[in-house]
Amino acid sequence: MNRKIYSLLIPLTFFTFLIFTETNLNAQQLPSEKIQRYSELAGKIVRSALLDKKGYEWLKELCSIGPRLSGSENSSKAITWAKNKMKECGFDSVWLQPVMVPKWVRGKIEKAYISKSKKYLNKKLTIVSYGGSIGTSKAGISGEVIEVKGLDEVKNLGDKAKGKIVFYNRPFDNGLLNTFEGYGKAVDQRINGAIEAAKVGAAGVIVRSVQSNYDNIPHTGVMLYEDNVKQIPSAAISVIDADFLSKAIKTEPNLKITIKMDCKSYPDVESYNVIGQLTGNEKPNEVIVVGGHFDSWDKGCGAHDDGAPCLQTMEALDLLKRLNIKPKRTIRCVLFINEENGLRGGIEYGKYSSNSFEKHLAGIESDRGAFTPRGFSVTTDSLSLMKMQSWLPILNKAYIEWIRKGGSGGDVGQIKNAKALFGYVPDDQRYMDVHHSDNDVFAAVHPREMELGSAAIAIMSYLLSEEGL
């Protein structure tokens, strides 16, 4: 071979590589007529969601039941409500999957006040018991307050913490773009605070409420105990009162506070995942699960966490049904029970999915509030991701801007054999203002924002059903 030809062949090899890569990419792209047809359908789905606002009207009904803590009477009522609603919608199959759940009851007393002070005697501090905490005796627990910024600091307290109330006061970092990141960086104080404080002999724990806004409404959430470590009471203190207390103990280090709580854990009770589906008309045994967790904390009414997002996934099925769109594969809505303090519903469905003759293609979880859609975060392989990204012009009809690799959610994360697990990602800026608190009420949900989420989930689940992975 002469030099000239040889020198031509080097770029040619590269060119062949380019062509090959290009072909591979093209195999993942939808033809333009399909994009157009799906886009028209997506437009209809969005319009129907925004005009009918059915999910939003459901939310009004659901919120009127009250909050839905696992094992509570409200939770049972809500489960019956959802089952009936799915039947009313005419889903092809509706059933309850039994699962034992923990039962923790807040009780009627959760209060704190300054019980020894020259300046602030009897000043009330606004607290809420953390889910799972033991109560106090009737007289409460009293002690001096020792402020810390985190778990590591507690480990080094030694005897200084003995008999005292450990006060975790590391604030939510509002300088972070994503509020879930801010939450993630503060919430260890709530979850493991009592364990570490008990190890150094503390009598109880209060934690600066984990939230992005500044008000006097503390946020609850789950806390944990550890085997062979003494259980001590644990509660959130509002951010305003946390700032007050922090200043007060600087001027009066011997100030004491008293905490009284009568919350209590009871034996597990039976509860249910609520399940309904549109059965696929070509591949009924290939399943796309959409869902959220139907339990909530017992503050507010769990509107954003996770009532509205649950109803978005229910409405996704209803949107397809009311527009007479028949999916090839089965699209199944699962309202998981007990995500907040046990994940029992997710685990139970995970077992079912592992043992079932069905093939679980995908799961989409909606558990980040019901704000305006931004994208989908997905755990899958790169080729599937590329394929789904070519659907973005269709999904953009519901304001979905991106699909990126990332986590899904606690519940659908239990479906171990699915090819793709999604987290639906709406705007997060206001979520941590309301999450787990009395602020999480019906009025905090905007109808258009919620309904666009229903539409986005309907479109994504339909595309998965038709195009597979």
Task: Give catalytic residues, as residue numbers.
Answer: 339
| Contact in structure between 71 and 102 (CB atoms under 8 Å) | yes
**What is the per-residue DSSP string for 402-428?**
EEEE----TTGGG-TT-SEEEEEEE--
Q: How far is C-alpha 410 from the chain's CA centre?
A: 8
Each residue 244-273 as x (binds a copy of itself by CB under 8 A) or -, in order, gives ------------------------------
Of residues 117, 126, 133, 179, which one binds a copy of itself by CB under 8 A? Answer: 179
- Decide whether 20 or 95 has the Cβ nearer to a copy of itself: 20
- Is 10 near a copy of itself (CB under 8 A)? no
Per DSSP, the three-state class of 387 is helix
Residue 227, token pair as written in the block? 């085997």
Of residues 3, 5, 6, 138, which one binds a copy of itself by CB under 8 A? Answer: 5
- Is 397 near a copy of itself (CB under 8 A)? yes
Which listed range, 40-48, 83-91, 190-198, 202-210, lies at the site for a copy of itself (CB under 8 A)? 40-48
- Is 443 near a copy of itself (CB under 8 A)? no
- Is 323 near a copy of itself (CB under 8 A)? no
Q: Rounded distance, CA 342 to CA 390, Å? A: 37
- Decide whether 11 or 90 has the Cβ nearer to a copy of itself: 11
Helix/strand number for the chain, H first, E second? 14, 16
- Decide whether 61 or 401 has the Cβ nearer to a copy of itself: 401
Query: What are the C-alpha distances in Å from 17 to residues 14, 29, 381, 390, 441?
Result: 5, 19, 22, 22, 56
Query: What are the C-alpha distances in Å from 468 to residues 282, 291, 360?
Result: 12, 19, 11
- Is 25 near a copy of itself (CB under 8 A)? no
DSSP-derived secondary structure letter, 123: -
- Decide whether 46 or 289 has the Cβ nearer to a copy of itself: 46
Of residues 399, 422, 424, 442, which one binds a copy of itself by CB under 8 A? Answer: 399
| Contact in structure between 457 and 209 (CB atoms under 8 Å) | no
Per DSSP, the three-state class of 468 is coil
Q: How many of the chain's residues bind a copy of itself (CB under 8 A)?
A: 34
Each residue 42-81 as x (binds a copy of itself by CB under 8 A) or -, in order, gives ----xxx-xx------------------------------
- Is 4 near a copy of itself (CB under 8 A)? yes
- Is 195 near a copy of itself (CB under 8 A)? no
| Contact in structure between 274 and 82 (CB atoms under 8 Å) | yes
- Decide whether 14 or 266 has the Cβ nearer to a copy of itself: 14
Q: Rounded distance, CA 381 to CA 400, Å? A: 20
Q: Rounded distance, CA 96 to CA 198, Å? A: 40
The crossing angle, in degrees rounded to 10, of helices 54-65 and 308-322 is 140
Task: Cite the DSSP H helix spans in 29-129.
Answer: 32-52, 54-65, 73-89
- Is 368 near a copy of itself (CB under 8 A)? no
Of residues 374, 384, 390, 467, which one binds a copy of itself by CB under 8 A? Answer: 374
- Is 212 near a copy of itself (CB under 8 A)? yes
The residues binding a copy of itself (CB under 8 A) are 4-5, 8-9, 11-12, 14-15, 18, 46-48, 50-51, 174-177, 179, 212, 372, 374, 397-399, 401-402, 427, 429-430, 446, 448-449, 452
